Amino acid sequence: MTQTDTDNSTNAPISVKPVIRVVDLVKRFSGRAVLDGINLAVHKGETIVIMGGSGCGKSTLLRHMIGSLFPEEGRVELLGRNLNELDEPDLNALRLRFGILFQSGALFNSMTVGENVALPLREHTNLDEQTIDIMVTIKLEQVGLREAADLMPAEISGGMKKRAGLARAIALDPEILFYDEPSAGLDPVTSAEIDQLVMDLSGKLGVTSVVVTHEMDSAFRIADRMAMLDRGKMIKIAPRSEFEAIRDGQATGDEGTDLIRQFLRGDSEGPITARRLSTGYEEDILEAAWEE
């Protein structure tokens, strides 16, 4: 069954309107372009993993897709709506249709785990308390935290916070889920559990998933397609199998491909490190010696 799902999403017909579209997006922070002409389309039900080293702009890209940052140029379309053109009420209506798992879980510290999950339901639906309680129990069971409902966020571990954050993100049964570094800082077992949940949500419920990560094990487990960001530019978007081929193949001599290969393999030598080495270390240190 998983097989057919995967096939469905990777070979999604071009004519189907993408759920998320990023078009020629440019973002500058104090004049410097952190995102430089990004294009990306995500189709219904697929899981796309956006990778890249620290500071490559992947978190910034995610923040544009959820409408907490807005681009200088270009646009983001979510479920057919251009985020640039939405006013606050429309943006809020759209926000109810997607969920976000923040890096730290971002639980509200003044509420219990259960209240955190209940909050979107209490604020945005008119369901009665009993139904909300049942839903909270269901969501917490899904992430394996049912017994933690009455604990405060300060009383639980980082991994549990993340899972609780996921339970809150899925409280309103969103159509799209964004994950910001879902497995960063987690032990391998918890990380694998979260990966499984990501796969279940997309496989069984057809949720579209956008995952930003630099954890390669997790990326290769969950991705239908992968996208590689480097210094604000999208250097490759392709099905997982292509990235697997690059990872397992030989160095090609093509800089872009070798850069991806080094990143996927976590090698200490390659274009990424070569770039760092060629930044004038020799000149700098000799200049420093002349200063006297």
Partner 1 sequence: MTETGNPIQNVRWLDAEKTVVVVEAAGEIDLHRSAAFQEALLEPLKKHPQRMIVDMTGVSYMDSSGVASLVKLLSRVRRDKINLRLAGLTPRVRNVFEITRLDTVFELYPSLQEAIDS
Partner 2 sequence: MSDHAAQRNFVEAVGARVLGGVCYLGGITILLGRAVSVSRATLARSSGRDALIVQMVRVGVRSVGIVCLVQIFIGVILALQLAPPLEPWGQVEMIANIIGIAGFRMLGPILTAVVLSGFAGASIAAELGTMVVAEEIEALQAHALNPVRFLIVPRLLATFVMMILLTIIANWMIAIGGYVTALAVLDPEVSEGYWSLMRDQLRLRDFASGLIMAGVFGVLISLIACYEGLRVRGGAEGVGKATTMTVVYSIVSIVLAAGVFTAIFYVFGF
Exposed / middle / buried, residue 250 (Cβ in 10 Å: 0-12, 13-18, 19+)? exposed
Reference 219, options 185, 248, 190, 191; nearest CA is: 191
Residue (54 or 126) nearer to partner 1, CB: 126
CB proximity list for 58: less than 8 A, separation 6 or greater: 50, 51, 52, 212, 229
Residues within window 102-141 making contact with partner 2, judged by CB under 8 A? 102-104, 106-109, 119-120, 122-124
Strands 225-230 and 47-51: parallel
Q: From partner 2, partner 1, none, which one binds at residue 106 (CB under 5 to 8 Å depending on kind)?
A: partner 2
The SS3 of residue 214 is: coil
Binding site for partner 1 (CB under 8 A): 124-128, 130-132, 134-135, 138-139, 141-142, 172-173, 200-201, 204-206
Which tokens in the block code for residue 265? Answer: 């393999």
The CA distance from 243 to 240, in Å, is 5
| CA 201 remoteness from chain centre | 15
Nearest distance in Å: CB 106, partner 2: 4
Residue 223 CB, nearest approach to partner 2 (Å):
23
Which structure tokens are listed for 277?
Answer: 């080495």
Q: Which does 141 bind (CB under 5 to 8 A by kind): partner 1, partner 2, none?
A: partner 1
Residue position matching structure tokens 């409408």: 67
Residues numbered 78 to 107 that lie near partner 2 (CB under 8 A) are 91-93, 95-96, 99-100, 102-104, 106-107
* Binding at 125: pick from partner 1, partner 2, none (beta carbon under 5-8 Å per type): partner 1
Name the site residues for partner 2 (rule: CB under 8 A): 66, 68, 91-93, 95-96, 99-100, 102-104, 106-109, 119-120, 122-124, 165, 168
